[in-house]
Amino acid sequence: MLVLGLLVFGTGIALMAAAGLGLGPWEVLHQGISRHTGIPLGTVSILLGFPILLLWIPLGEYPGIGTVLNVLLIGTATNIVLPLLPVPTDLLPQLAMMLAGVLVIGLGSGLYLGSRLGPGPRDGLMTGIHGRFGWSVRRARTAVEVAVLVAGFLLGGTVGIGTVVFAFGIGPVVQASLRVLDRETPAELARRDPDLAEELAGPGTVGE
C-alpha cells in the first residue's frame, strides 16, 4: 500500500508536469532547479528531500520507513513516467492531463497516508514547525509553500491554473481517497491525527 501509493503519487506529478499548466508549490521549485541544472525533475525531488529531513532534527520530528521511501520512490516514479507521456499543445488535452494528475496524486496520497508508516519530508517539516513554534499547521504550510512557490517561479518553474487547482483540489481528493482506502470518517481522522485533518481542511500540498 505504501509503495504503490508513492509510485502513483510520482506518476501524478509526471502527468501535471507534462500538461504544462502549473504544478504544486514544491514541484514548481523542483522544476525551476531542474531547468537551471539539467537534473531530471524527479532527481531534484530526491536530492532536496535529504536536506529537508535534516531540518527535522532541530524540530524534533522522527522519520519512519514511509518517510525514507517517500524521498526515494516519488522522484523515481516521476523520472520513469515523464518521458513516456505525450506533451499536449492544445488546451483541452492539457486540462484533462492536469486534472488527471491531481486525481492520481490524491489517490497516491490516500494510499500512502493510509499506510501510516511515517510522514513525507515536506509534511514533517510543516508539522515540526507547528510543534516547535506553536504555529497552526495551516500557517506553517502557507508560509513555507508561498516561499518555495515564489522561489520556484523565479527559477522558471511553471505556475498556472494547475497550481491553483492543485492547491484547492488536492485536500478533498485525498479525503475521499482516505474514506475509501482507510475506512475512516473525517471525525475519526481528526481524533487520530488532528494535524493531518487540519492539513486536509485547507489548501496546500498533502502527502509529500
Average pLDDT, the chain: 89
Euclidean distance between CA atoms 204 and 32, whole angstroms: 19
List, for residues 123-157, the tens digit of each pLDDT value.
888 888 888 888 887 788 888 889 999 999 999 99
Q: Mean pLDDT throughout 36-44?
A: 97
201 pLDDT more than 70: no
Phi then psi for residue 38, to 5 deg, are: 80, 0
Q: Mean pLDDT throughout 24-43?
A: 96
The pLDDT confidence band at residue 80, using thresholds 50, 70 and 90, is very high
Euclidean distance between CA atoms 149 and 163, whole angstroms: 9
* Highest mean predicted confidence (pLDDT) among 14-23, 132-141, 178-187: 14-23
pLDDT at 137: 76
Euclidean distance between CA atoms 157 and 151, whole angstroms: 9
- Ranking 40-44, 76-80, 124-128, 179-183 by mean pLDDT, the lowest is 179-183
Whether the model clears a pTM of 0.85, i.e. scores above it, the answer is yes
pLDDT at 195: 65
Task: Say if residue 23 is exposed, middle or buried (CB neighbours under 10 Å; 0-12, 13-18, 19+).
Answer: buried
Per-residue cell: 116 = 501510516
pLDDT at 136: 81
pLDDT at 133: 87
